Amino acid sequence: MDKAAHHGHDEDVDSDLEMVRGELESAASDVEAAKIRGRMTDGVTQVIGVRMGTVFDIAKRNAGMPLVEVERLLTSGVYELKMVGVSVLDFRARAKDADREALYGVWMRNLDAMNTWDYIDRAAPRVVGTYLLDRPRNVLFELAASSDRWHRRTAITAAFSIIRARDLADPLALCEVLAADPEHLVQTNVGVALREIGRVDPVVLEDFLARRGSDLSAHARRTARSALGA
């Protein structure tokens, strides 16, 4: 904190993070903390214990904070602080005049902080996928080839926005890459991507399932086939 004392901007950033922390702590409960800890996958992330609806409300109230402050939240190591940061990115990405390049830059600089399924599902479609709607998607294929399961989940989850734009080629190619992925938390969203592809073009989905269906997990296969009424 000595650094903050000598740099007024850092001091402001610290106080803003502490303000968000205070809002979260005032809404915390031991019951909610136990629920959240039960679904943590890393054993390291700290938990305050706040309902997701409340976390999202706090994020919405603070959605105008400078992105440098959002990055402080993302690197805090505290589940709810990080979720506020992720949610701020998502709220900002919904605006028609969003600075999508800046939001995407924050996500990619903090990629390794996106280490639970709900951070990724909350914001990757709008923050990453929407930014890439009119740009090359090489980065998604790089993420899909990563040894990090969260990078792979980010790749397929970001594709949801691309599918919604009825642009199926790259999302389908990502499903090809990830069809036999051994990680359940990747397979689940491959299934969702395929289901959404099937809602746009059932024939494309049927062809994919005929070729690669046996490579998918049972869960992903069921999710995908739900688009076909099966």
Question: What DSSP assignment string belongs to 176-210?
Answer: HHHTT-S-HHHHHHHHHHHHHHHHH-HHHHHHHHH
For residues 164 and 195, is the Cβ–Cβ distance under 8 A? Answer: no
Q: What is the pLDDT of residue 5?
A: 36
| Per-residue tens of pLDDT for the chain, all 230 residues | 333 333 344 444 457 888 999 999 999 999 999 999 888 877 788 999 999 999 999 999 999 999 999 999 999 999 999 999 999 999 999 999 999 999 999 999 999 999 999 999 999 999 999 999 999 999 999 999 999 999 999 999 999 999 999 999 999 999 999 999 999 999 999 999 999 999 999 999 999 999 999 999 999 999 999 999 86
**Coil, strand, or helix at residue 109?**
helix
Ramachandran class of 135: left when φ > 0, alpha when ψ lies in -120 to 50, beta otherwise: beta
Taking alpha carbons only, the member of 111, 196, 108, 192 closest to residue 150 is: 111
Spatial neighbors of 213 by CB under 8 A, at least 6 apart, are 221, 224
Q: What is the pLDDT of residue 122?
A: 97
Taking alpha carbons only, the member of 122, 191, 185 closest to residue 163 is: 191
> Residue 125 gets which letter from DSSP?
I
Spatial neighbors of 97 by CB under 8 A, at least 6 apart, are none
Q: What is the pLDDT of residue 14?
A: 54
Q: What is the pLDDT of residue 186?
A: 98
Q: What is the pLDDT of residue 10?
A: 45
Q: What is the pLDDT of residue 6?
A: 35
Taking alpha carbons only, the member of 123, 124, 42 closest to residue 79 is: 42
Hey, what are 47's tokens?
A: 């938990």
Domains parsed from the chain with CATH numbers: 1-106 (no CATH), 136-230 (1.25.10.90)
